[in-house]
Amino acid sequence: MNNQVNVMIAGADMGGLIASCALHYDFQNRLLQEDRFRISRLEKDTLTMEDVGQCDLSGVEYVVNATLHDTEASFAFDEKCKKQGIPVIHAVNFGKAAFLAVEKPKGYPFSEVKKRNSDEGSIEKHEEDSIEKNEDRIALDSWNADIFQRKLGKYISQYGMFWQKPVPWIDEAIKNYSEKSFPQLSIGAYIAAGYCVNILCRLAEGKEVKYFPKFYLSPLLEEV
């Protein structure tokens, strides 16, 4: 089929939903449901450096990182994609909401989320902010999905405050899940899958999308 878009999706659980959604996109108007995207999979929610080293990106046009972002290997995977000129779409399940960010190969790095302090600096600055005191001693091998989601939540909150568009429900979620894991609900995964495929289609058609540090945030409710 002409004009197939080659996409690699990293991630097992949510990655599977995104792949299914992509393969069934716009099926009512097509004789073949699978003719828009050619999907390759890296079916692991937690990546290792070995996974990154063995991953073949030949011919891949877009990558979706739907892993848990719970190891340094996840961010090393992003860097490998970007070095080959491949945009990376990050999909994160916030329970009853989904976060998506599109990372340009030479744009603002998504890994900066790890280094953001919710009380210092502006979103638009590119220099590194210090990690909060209670996380100063976190070693690379102790990075996990909970720390990532809390830092991402603080990034979202800071971004909203900077642009005078507060996101009160994310502040409440950070408080509620300060010492326990964010829930990985199917609602958030399905929201992420729909948004992700819409972004993929817009990229493939040459239409405008938001690039990180801008992002997409879609809660089931405005306040939860």
What pLDDT does residue 220 have? 65
State the number of CA atoms in the 13 A half-sphere of 41 facing the CB.
Answer: 15
Please tell me the predicted confidence (pLDDT) of residue 117.
Answer: 53
| 64 occurs within a structural domain | yes
Question: Is 201 a domain residue?
Answer: yes
Q: What's the chain's average pLDDT?
A: 83
CATH label of the domain that carries residue 214: 3.40.50
pLDDT digits (tens, 9 = 90+) for 145-175: 888 888 999 999 999 999 999 888 888 888 8
Tens of pLDDT, residue by residue over 192-206, are 999 999 999 999 999
Q: Would you call 1 exposed, middle or buried from its count of C-beta atoms within 10 A (0-12, 13-18, 19+)?
A: exposed
Among 54, 40, 31, 32, smallest CA distance to 5 is for: 40
Query: Is residue 168 situated within a structural domain?
Result: yes
Q: How many domains does the chain have?
A: 1
Residue 221, helix vs strand vs coil: coil
Give exposure, 94-131, as e/b (b: 16+ Cβ within 10 Å): bbbbbbbbbbeeeebbbebbbebbbeebebeeeeebeb
**Residue 202, number of CB atoms within 10 A of its CB:** 14
Residue 158 lies in a domain: yes
For 62-92, the pLDDT digits (tens) are 999 999 998 899 999 999 999 999 999 999 9
Looking at the domain assignment, is residue 99 inside a domain?
Answer: yes
Judge whether 224 lies within some domain.
Answer: no
Check whether 143 has a pLDDT greater than 60. yes
Helix (H) or strand (E) segment spanning residue 63: strand 62-65
Q: Does 44 map to a domain? A: yes
Q: Please give the model's pTM, rounded to 2 decimal places.
A: 0.83
Indicate whether 197 belongs to any domain. yes
Q: Provide the residue range defining the domain that includes 183.
A: 5-219
